[in-house]
Amino acid sequence: MSAPSGTGPGRVLVAVYGIFALAATSRAAVQIATRFAEAPLAYALSAFAGVVYIVLTVALARDARRVAVAACLVELAGVLIVGTLSLADSAAFPEATVWSGYGSGYGFVPLALPVIGLLWLLRGVRRS
């Protein structure tokens, strides 16, 4: 049996996801409240990303592996889909989202996080 997901190096994941949850949700809330009409798709996607980060933070901290794996897969799909669309059709994204350009505005951490998260969560599955 593997160690709980929120212990050891998993604590770093919980902390990073917590920071991203706070940052993405706060930023989206301000954008939606003050200028939603300027870029509704981008701001709604940022809010969605924030919710995914909240779910991941809680799931990792509580060792809810299935929920965390599902959320990591949603996050990875979001980063890849939104990242590709934001580069292919920049007019559809007049304002950046957390996942625009594969998370380039955040040092590509949004692209790396779900991969690292999945590796961390699935590490014990092969050993079991």
Ramachandran angles phi, psi of 35, nearest 5°: -155, 40
Residue with tokens 């919980």: 14
pLDDT in the model for residue 128 = 42
- Estimate the share of the chain in helix, then strand, then coil, as percent rounded to the nearest 5: 80, 0, 20
In terms of phi and psi (left: phi > 0; alpha: psi -120 to 50; beta: otherwise), the region of 7 is beta
Q: Is 107 helix (H, G, I), strand (E, B) or coil?
A: coil
pLDDT in the model for residue 125 = 53
Exposure string over 58-84, b if 16+ CB within 10 A, otherwise e: bbbbebbbeebbebbebbbebbeebbe
The pTM for the full model equals 0.88
As given in the structure block, the two tokens for residue 25 are 């949700």
As given in the structure block, the two tokens for residue 20 are 């991203």
pLDDT in the model for residue 9 = 77
pLDDT < 70: residue spans in the chain: 1-7, 124-128
pLDDT in the model for residue 8 = 75
pLDDT in the model for residue 5 = 65
pLDDT in the model for residue 127 = 46
Q: How far apart are CA 49 and CA 23, in angstroms?
A: 10
21 CB burial (10 A radius; 0-12, 13-18, 19+): buried
